[in-house]
A and B are shown apart, each in its own frame.
Chain A
Amino acid sequence: MLNRPNKTTLGEIQNWLSTVITDPHGAGHALSESTIKPEQYIHSTEIDALSRLNVYAEAYFSRIVECLEADFKTTQQIVGDDAFRQLIADYLIEHPSRSANIGEVGRQLPKFILGHPYATEIPYLADVIAFEWAAVESFYSDSAPPFDFTILANFSESDWAEAQIKLQPSLRFYYAQWAIADMWNARHQPNEVFCETEAGILKSNNSIALWCVGGEMRARDLSRAEMAALNTLKNKGSLSSLSSLITAQPEVGEHLMLWFGEWTKLNLISGVELNRKL
């Protein structure tokens, strides 16, 4: 975009250094493979060139692993620290960071894991990784403050039919082949508690609601009926829009008040609005 005097020299230095410090086998390996001797580019008086380059090489990998550990905490718990680092090393070969924001670096991990041996060894791992990235996306979306439910005391019975239910904007639905929500909820628990939860994991197609309240992520397993009710509310908003669903699935009607109480308690509902002023 801009004119760049001395571009060749600066570009050559940057290409070389980038190659050396991101080599998956280490800076020493990169130097042994390169036709460029380090002293052609860098001063190495008193402290040798490899020691200097290693500072950057180690920081490159550590910084990205640290970020991905935060975003994929459950994954790390499942595979263990060493295997997690290996997974990330493998991942970065195919998907080096392309974004200015290090928070983006895990975006391709759900796709990458599908072709990785770990996904065969641990059949629920791909579900977990995709779910953890969905949690990152939910976190970085609009959120609403907790709703003041005392306002509902002024609602008449007829108000409820036309009331517009506002769900948390961060709400995402995730479809998993494994019941992973309990394991995800246990990710910050001591290892023995986590392992116990992991050992109890079942294969069962299920839906999970994922949302953010006050900067904290929450997840809840949903039955098909509850999922359908929430999805209808998310798309249409009014309680009256549930009537055809209740006709088709009577259990929705049976459980709706119970669910509503739980959605309220969990801050899944961010507001209830009427066309008239209260």
Chain B
Amino acid sequence: MSTDGAPLSNPMVFRNLGLGLGLRAPHFSIATAGKANVSWFEVVTENFLGIAGGTGGPPLEKLRKVRENYQIVLHGVSLNIGSTDALNLEYLKNLKALDRQIEPAWVSDHFCWTGVNNHNLHDLLPLPYNRGTIDHLCERIQFCQDYLGRRMVFENVSSYLTYSHSEMTEWQFISEIAHRAGCGLLVDVNNIFVSSHNHKFDPLDFLRGLPRESVAQIHLAGHSIEGEILIDTHDQPVAPEVWGLYAHAVKLFGPLSTMVEWDANIPSYQELEAEIFKARHYWPEIKKSERAPTGYIGDINA
């Protein structure tokens, strides 16, 4: 299949797409006109699936236009991979159809559950980190990957609670799933920082505990403080501490595909690009380039 780096038959290599952005409605016109200076965009999958009995409508038409000039990553929020409900085959069917139309670099979702008993909560809810959950997720991830015919990528979520049923750390949990299910990892550095504050662990332990050969992509975002809890709000610039953690991530994993998510109080497109281009500072080998390189394979197997 025409993906950049993740057919199931290939070793775990995800192409470095360079620096990208989460593409949201206010900035679609810039992307459809081909005027963006980033090399790729990540979009929220569900925004292009339409509603039952309909089509993807104008959003999908615009995405097709964007795809003419840029690499796309499809980032889902509703696969519900960790739920005890049966996998939603209708959703998977629609995802596969979108995948075939858009030919994204890869398809991602989250290590989480989003609903149970056919009640969708539309949130990325944390899982207990134990053997039983690992078995459950591995089986379902492998099913999804077989169904889509491609290796998927899963993201660590920010969390505000942990379960007494957990038997291991979050990074041990997702590392084992990546190893057993053969999926890639989307490392959200802001989520690590937020969770480390909320659950009192060292965020560097998280990064160091991940299998570098599985890491496909990095997310950056802003967060907010509400009382004693940090909330992953995606409504402001990336915090200095998160940039510091990103510097460690680049040292550990190499300069991988990196993007900024910004979903509320969305600034001008120029401000968004300025935010993601700060990442160049941590990519010494490409810091002078006008546009982040495409086609560069990071040293993830080194």
Contact = CB atoms under 8 A, between A and B. Distances in A.
A102 B121 contact: no
A137 B53 contact: yes
A95 to B, nearest CB: 11
A59 B82 CA distance: 19
Nearest to B165: A9
A140 B58 CA distance: 7
Interface residue range, chain B = 35 or more
A98 B118 contact: yes
A47 interface: yes
A11 B128 CA distance: 11
Interface string A111-152: 000000000000000000000000011011111000000000
Given A46-B228, A137-B54, A4 B120 contact: no
A18 interface: yes
A13 B86 CA distance: 16
Contact of A100 (B91, B125, B132): B91
Interface stretch (B109-117, B174-182, B205-213, B288-296): B109-117
Given A9-B128, A60-B123, A14 B51 contact: no
A142 B122 contact: no
A3 interface: yes
A22 B86 CA distance: 21
B52 A22 contact: no
A32 interface: no
A147 B87 CA distance: 43
A46 B229 contact: no
A225 to B, nearest CB: 30
Given A100-B46, A101-B51, A13 B163 contact: yes
B202 interface: no
A55 interface: yes
Interface string A53-93: 10110011001100000000000000000000000000000
A43 interface: yes
Interface stretch (A34-42, A182-190, A196-204): A34-42
B196 interface: no
A251 to B, nearest CB: 35
A3 B87 CA distance: 12
A13 B57 contact: no
A14 B132 contact: no
Interface in B125-174: 125, 127-128, 130-133, 135-136, 139-140, 143, 160-165
Contacts of B53: 137
A58 to B, nearest CB: 9
A249 interface: no
Contacts of B161: 42-44, 49, 52-53, 56
B154 to A, nearest CB: 17
A60 B114 CA distance: 11
Contacts of B250: none
A211 B143 CA distance: 40
B190 interface: no
Given A2-B143, A212-B58, A15 B117 contact: yes
Interface of A: 1-7, 9-11, 13-15, 17-18, 21-22, 39-47, 49, 51-53, 55-56, 59-60, 63-64, 96-105, 107, 136-137, 139-143, 212, 214-215
Nearest 8 CB-CB pairs, A to B? A6-B132, A140-B54, A215-B58, A100-B78, A11-B84, A14-B116, A140-B57, A55-B160
27 contacts: A1-B86, A4-B139, A6-B133, A6-B135, A6-B136, A10-B132, A10-B136, A14-B113, A18-B117, A21-B123, A39-B164, A40-B164, A43-B199, A46-B228, A51-B227, A52-B160, A60-B121, A63-B122, A99-B52, A99-B120, A100-B88, A102-B122, A103-B50, A104-B51, A139-B58, A140-B55, A140-B57
